[in-house]
């Protein structure tokens, strides 16, 4: 993903609220190599399937 290469700050909006605001390394604190998987934690979708994000991104 290109975000990994260019982003220094990440912001995630969920339900009209800022769910996360911080650095890329803070966003991936648990060692996940995939931004998609971390994003799913904040968006709380019904289906925990990162492939669904491809349609959004």
Q: Render each residue's pLDDT in the chain as its tens digit; 57 residues.
A: 577 788 889 899 888 889 899 998 888 887 677 788 888 887 765 555 566 566 555
pLDDT value of residue 50: 60
pLDDT value of residue 55: 58
Specify whether the CB–CB gap between 39 and 12 falls below 8 A. yes
Which positions ≥6 away from 8 have C-beta within 8 Å?
A: 23, 24
How high is the mean pLDDT of the chain?
77
Is the pTM value of this prediction over 0.85?
Answer: no
Tell me the domain boundaries of the chain: 3-55
Specify whether the CB–CB gap between 25 and 38 falls below 8 A. no
* Distance separating alpha carbons of residues 27 and 30, to the nearest angstrom: 8
């Amino acid at each position: 993903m290109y975000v990994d290469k260019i982003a220094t700050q990440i912001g995630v909006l969920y339900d009209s609220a800022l769910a996360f605001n911080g650095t890329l390394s803070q966003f991936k604190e648990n060692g996940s190599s995939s931004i998609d998987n971390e994003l799913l934690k904040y968006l709380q979708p019904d289906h925990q399937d990162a492939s669904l994000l491809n349609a959004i991104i």
